[in-house]
Amino acid sequence: MREDRQRLDKWLWFARFAKTRTLAAKLVASGFVRVNGQRTDSAAKAVAVGDVVTIALARATLVVRVEGLGARRGPAPEARQLYADLNGDNATLVSDGDKG
């Protein structure tokens, strides 16, 4: 694989979205992960800086942009540098103007 890309399951593990790499691969294989809006079931899918990854977890859907490729599974502050959260605080279904 090219140096500017990393396997999706490995990146999810490095970024701490899964406790193990095996669980990251199962999350991808089960269809709960999208890369740039396209559903993927291949844990070997390559991700690069700038890609948008959507992860459907049990109680939340996370949308993040890849900001870096990890070299190891480090502590949480190091893992947070690998992505930018795109969910934002304005992810409500009802706007404030609709309150009445």
Spell out the domain ranges in the chain: 5-86
For the record, the structure tokens of 3 come out as 């140096």
Question: What is the pLDDT tens value at each position of the chain, 100 positions in all?
Answer: 788 999 999 999 999 999 999 999 999 999 999 999 999 999 999 999 999 999 998 889 999 999 999 999 999 999 999 999 998 754 444 444 544 4
Residue 60 to residue 1: CA distance in whole angstroms: 31
Give the global pTM: 0.84
CATH 3.90.1310.10 fits 5-86, yes or no: no
